[in-house]
Amino acid sequence: MEIPVESRELSQLKKQPTICSFCGCGCGLYFFSEGFLVPAQNHPVSRGKLCLRGWSYADLRFTPKRLKSPLIRRNGKLEAASWEEALNTAGEALKAIRDKYGGDAIGVLGSARASVEDNFTLYQFATKVLGTKNIDSFYRLGFFPSEDFSFPDLEKAEQIILLACDIAERHAQAASFVTGALARGAFLYIIDPRMPQMSKLASIHIQPSPFELLKEAEKFIEELEVRGDCYLLYSSEIILYGWACEARKVIEKAITKGIKPLFLCDYANQKGMVKMGIHPQGGLSFYEILDEARKGNIKALVIMSDNPSERFPQLFKEAREKLEFILVIDPLRTDAVEVSDVALPGTFFFEKEGSTINAEGRRQALHPTVTPQVEKNEIETLIALGEKLGVSLPFPSGELVEMEMKEWKPELSPTTQHTPSPDYPFTLLLDPSYIWAGTAMAQATFIYNRESSIILSDFPEGFVNINSEDAKELKIRDRMPVKIETPLGSITLPAYTTLRAGKGVLLFPLYLWEKVAEKLGGVEFDKSHGMPIFKPIPARIAKEE
Amino acid sequence: MPDLTYKKIGKEDLMKILQEIANEEELIAPVEMFGGEALFQPVKDVNDITFNYVNTLFPPKQFLLPRFEKILTYKKEDGKLKVEEIIEAPKRTIFGIRSCDVEGIRYSEFFYSGKMFQREDLADPHFMARRNNLTIISVACLNPAPTCFCVCCDGGPFLERGFDLQLTDLGEYWLCEVGSEKGTAIIEKFPSFFIDAEEKDIQKRKELEDKVLEKFGPYPAFSGATLRRITEGNIPREVWESLGERCIVCGGWQLLCPLCFCYTVVDIGDENEGYRARIWDSCHYEGYHRLAGGPNPRKGRDRRRERCIFHKFSWQYVERMGRHGCVGCGRCVITCMGYVHMPQTVWEIRSAFREESYKKEAKVR
pLDDT digits (tens, 9 = 90+) for B286-325: 999 999 888 999 988 999 999 999 999 888 888 888 888 8
At residue A306, the pLDDT reads: 92
**Closest CB from A58, A168, A454 relative to B286:** A454
Q: Do B117 and B171 sit in the same domain of this protein? A: yes
Q: Do B130 and B190 sit in the same domain of this protein? A: yes
CB contact under 8 A, A59 and B252: no
At residue A544, the pLDDT reads: 57
Q: Is the pLDDT of residue B362 over 50?
A: no
Q: Is the pLDDT of residue B149 over 70?
A: yes
Cα angle, residue A287 at apex, residues A284 and A288 outer, rounded to 5°: 40
State mean pLDDT over A487-509.
Answer: 92
Quick check: A61 contacting B, CB < 8 Å? yes
Start-to-end CA span in chain B (Å): 38
State mean pLDDT over A417-437.
Answer: 90
**Closest CB from B62, B246, B255 relative to A201:** B246
Measured between CA atoms, how close is B294 to chain A, in angstroms? 6
At residue A5, the pLDDT reads: 39
Q: Is the pLDDT of residue B39 over 70?
A: yes
Which tens digits make up the pLDDT trace of B108-147? 999 999 988 888 999 999 999 999 999 999 999 888 888 8
Pick the CATH number of A426-543 from 1.10.150.120, 3.90.550.10, 2.40.40.20, 3.30.70.1520: 2.40.40.20
Q: Do B132 and B166 sit in the same domain of this protein? A: yes
- Range from A109-118, B31-40, B276-285 carrying the lowest mean pLDDT: B31-40
**Exposure string over B320-350, b if 16+ CB within 10 A, otherwise e:** ebebbbbbbbbbbbbbbbbbbbbbbbbbbbb
Task: Give the side-chain half-sphere CA count within 13 A for A47.
Answer: 19
For chain B, the domain total comes to 2
Quick check: A171 contacting B, CB < 8 Å? no
Look at the alpha carbons of A139, A141, A143, A149 in this order and tell me if their dihedral is positive or negative.
negative
- The strand order across the sheet containing A187-191 reads A204-206, A187-191, A159-163, A230-234, A259-263
State mean pLDDT over B219-244.
Answer: 83
CB contact under 8 A, B57 and A48: yes
* Contacting residues for A175 by C-beta, under 8 A, at least 6 apart: A167, A168, A197, A198, B248, B337, B338
Q: Which amino acid is at B204?
A: K
Q: Is the pLDDT of residue B199 over 60?
A: yes
**Residues B311, A198: Cα–Cα separation, whole Å:** 27
A259: helix, strand or coil: strand
CB A164 within 8 A of CB A193: yes
A476: helix, strand or coil: coil
At residue A543, the pLDDT reads: 62
Start-to-end CA span in chain A (Å): 58
**Residues B337, A432: Cα–Cα separation, whole Å:** 22
At residue A545, the pLDDT reads: 56
Q: Give residue B364's pLDDT band: very low, low, confident or very high (50, 70, 90).
A: very low
Long-range contacts: A182-187, Cβ < 8 Å, 24+?
A: A182/B364, A183/B339, A183/B364, A183/B365, A184/A155, A184/A156, A185/A158, A186/A157, A186/A158, A186/A159, A186/A160, A187/A158, A187/A159, A187/A160
At residue A87, the pLDDT reads: 93
**Residues B28, B88: Cα–Cα separation, whole Å:** 16
Q: Which helix (H) or strand (E) holds B5?
A: strand B5-10
Q: Is the pLDDT of residue A491 over 60?
A: yes
Q: What are the chain B neighbours of A183 within 8 Å (beta carbons)?
A: 339, 364-365
> What value of ipTM does the predicted structure carry?
0.90
At residue B365, the pLDDT reads: 38
Q: Is the pLDDT of residue B336 over 90?
A: yes
At residue A7, the pLDDT reads: 36
**Residues B318, A173: Cα–Cα separation, whole Å:** 34
Q: Give residue A2's pLDDT band: very low, low, confident or very high (50, 70, 90).
A: very low
State mean pLDDT over A92-102.
Answer: 92
**Which residue of A151, A176, A350 to mutate against B (max B Cβ within 10 Å)?**
A176
CB A37 within 8 A of CB A29: yes
What is the overall mean pLDDT for chain B?
A: 87
Q: Is the pLDDT of residue B358 over 60?
A: no
Quick check: B36 contacting A, CB < 8 Å? yes
Last residue of a domain, one of B192, B213, B234: B213
Q: Do B252 and B123 sit in the same domain of this protein? A: no
Measured between CA atoms, how close is A168 to chain B, in angstroms? 6
Q: Give residue B152's pLDDT band: very low, low, confident or very high (50, 70, 90).
A: confident
State mean pLDDT over A413-420.
Answer: 87
Q: Is the pLDDT of residue B355 over 70?
A: no
A20: helix, strand or coil: coil
Which tens digits make up the pLDDT trace of B251-274? 999 999 999 999 999 999 888 999
With CA atoms as reference, the chain B residue closest to A197 would be B245
The burial of A545, by beta-carbon neighbours within 10 Å (0-12 exposed, 13-18 middle, 19 or more buried), is given as: exposed
Q: Do B188 and B336 sit in the same domain of this protein? A: no
Q: Do B209 and B229 sit in the same domain of this protein? A: no
Q: Give residue B211's pLDDT band: very low, low, confident or very high (50, 70, 90).
A: confident
CB A527 within 8 A of CB A416: no
Cα dist. A46→A27, A197, A519, B276 in Å? 5, 21, 42, 31
Which tens digits make up the pLDDT trace of A276-315? 989 998 889 999 999 999 999 999 999 999 999 999 999 9
Q: Do B260 and B183 sit in the same domain of this protein? A: no
B94: helix, strand or coil: strand
Last residue of a domain, one of B176, B191, B213: B213
At residue A13, the pLDDT reads: 57
At residue A523, the pLDDT reads: 86
What is the overall mean pLDDT for chain A?
A: 90
Quick check: B132 contacting A, CB < 8 Å? no
**Residues A464, B281: Cα–Cα separation, whole Å:** 30
Q: Is the pLDDT of residue A532 over 70?
A: yes
Q: What are the chain B neighbours of A59 within 8 Å (beta carbons)?
A: 68, 279
Task: Give the side-chain half-sphere CA count within 13 A for A402.
Answer: 3
Q: Do B187 and B52 sit in the same domain of this protein? A: yes
Q: Do B160 and B28 sit in the same domain of this protein? A: yes
- The range of the structural domain enclosing residue B296 comes to 223-359
With CA atoms as reference, the chain A residue closest to B36 would be A42
Q: Give residue A1's pLDDT band: very low, low, confident or very high (50, 70, 90).
A: very low
With CA atoms as reference, the chain A residue closest to B285 would be A451
Q: Do B32 and B138 sit in the same domain of this protein? A: yes
Q: Do B37 and B173 sit in the same domain of this protein? A: yes
CATH of domain A151-263: 3.40.228.10
Residue B365 included in any domain? no
Instruction: Give the residue extent of every domain in chain A.
Output: 71-142+269-347+376-404, 151-263, 426-543
Cα dist. B318→B109, B110, B111, B310 in Å? 15, 12, 12, 10
At residue A190, the pLDDT reads: 94
Which tens digits make up the pLDDT trace of A185-195? 999 999 999 99
Q: Is the pLDDT of residue B354 over 70?
A: no
CATH of domain A71-142+269-347+376-404: 3.40.50.740
At residue A369, the pLDDT reads: 86
| DSSP for A37-59, written as a single string | EEE-TT-TTTTT---HHHHHGGG
**A541: closest CA among A425, A418, A462?**
A425
A64 upstream amide cis, omega within 30 of 0: no
CB A157 within 8 A of CB A230: yes
With CA atoms as reference, the chain A residue closest to B290 would be A454
Measured between CA atoms, how close is B23 to chain A, in angstroms? 18
Which tens digits make up the pLDDT trace of A131-175? 999 999 999 999 998 889 999 999 889 999 999 999 999 999 999
Which tens digits make up the pLDDT trace of A8-53? 454 555 678 899 999 999 999 999 888 899 999 989 999 999 999 9
Last residue of a domain, one of B187, B213, B239: B213
Q: Do B144 and B11 sit in the same domain of this protein? A: yes
**Residues B268, B275: Cα–Cα separation, whole Å:** 5
